[in-house]
Amino acid sequence: MALNARLDHRKPLVFDTHELGRRPGALQRLTREFEAPRDLGIQGVIGVPEGAPVELELRLESVMEGVLVTGTARAQAEGECVRCLEPLELELEADFQEMFSYPDADDRGRPKAEPVDDAEEDEDRLFIEDGLFDLEPVLRDAVVLALPMQPVCQDDCLGLCSECGARLTDDPDHHHDATDIRWAALQGLAGSLEDGEKDEMSGEAPRSAPANEKQEK
C-alpha cells in the first residue's frame, strides 16, 4: 500500500526499527501484549472480542530492501456454531510473515535514483516510515486466515431440528412423525366419519322426537 500518514509510535501495533540501523542481517525479537482492536476476525461469524488480550511474538530481520517481520499472535476467539448456533470459544494462533520496504529502495534493495510514482506497484507493498511500521493490517489478514469460515462447536454436531429447532446433539433420537400432505385431507375426512358412526352407535334420540310425539297426540 502507499505511504501512510505519519505513524504514532504510541499505538500498540506500531513498531520502531531504528535499533536495526538498516544493517542487513541485524535481528530483533519482541514480545508485546495489547488489547484487541475492533472487528478483529471474520465479522458476524467469529473473532477476538474488542479489548480482549492478544499476545504477540515478533522477529524483525533487517534486509537490503527493508525489514522482514515474522510473528505469531495468540488470543481467545469467540463466535457461534454454524450448525446449532451455540456460543463457542477457541484458541487462536495466527502466524504471519511480511516485508516492510524502505520507501527509498527498489525491489532489489538498491536506493532509487529518482522517486517513481507508481500507485499500482505500491498498492500491494507495505512501507517503513520514519523508521516505523504499522502491523495492524498484517495482523488482521493473518487472523482472518487462521479462523474457520464455518466454526462448529464439535466436529460431529448434528445441528438443529428443521421443524422445531431442537438441538439434535442433545437428543439424537429426536424426530417427528411425518405426514404426507397428500393424505392429510383424507385422514381428516376419515376422522369425521368415525365420529359420526360413534354418535349413531351411542343410541342418542334426535332432538326433533318430542315435537313429533306431540303432533301424534
Q: Is residue 103 part of a domain?
A: yes
Q: Is residue 178 part of a domain?
A: no
- Reported as a single tens digit per residue, the pLDDT across 87-121 is 999 999 999 999 999 987 555 545 554 445 555 55
Amino acid 13: pLDDT: 97
Q: Is residue 127 part of a domain?
A: yes
Q: How many angstroms separate the CA atoms of 100 and 102, rounded? A: 7
Q: How many residues does the chain have?
A: 217
3-class SS of residue 72: strand
Q: Which domain holds residue 93?
A: 14-146
- Reported as a single tens digit per residue, the pLDDT across 163-202 is 776 776 777 777 776 666 666 666 666 666 666 665 666 6
- Reported as a single tens digit per residue, the pLDDT across 10-43 is 999 999 999 998 999 999 999 999 999 999 999 9
Amino acid 217: pLDDT: 47
The residue with greater pLDDT, 164 or 145, is 145
Q: Is residue 204 part of a domain?
A: no
pTM exceeds 0.75 for this model: no
Query: What is the count of structural domains for the chain?
Result: 1
Q: Is residue 162 part of a domain?
A: no
Q: Is the pLDDT of residue 213 over 80?
A: no
Q: Is residue 108 part of a domain?
A: yes
How many Cβ atoms are within 10 Å of 127's Cβ, its own excluded? 20
The residue with greater pLDDT, 196 or 148, is 148
Q: Is residue 151 part of a domain?
A: no
Q: Is residue 184 part of a domain?
A: no
Query: Which helix (H) or strand (E) segment is 210 a member of?
Result: helix 209-216
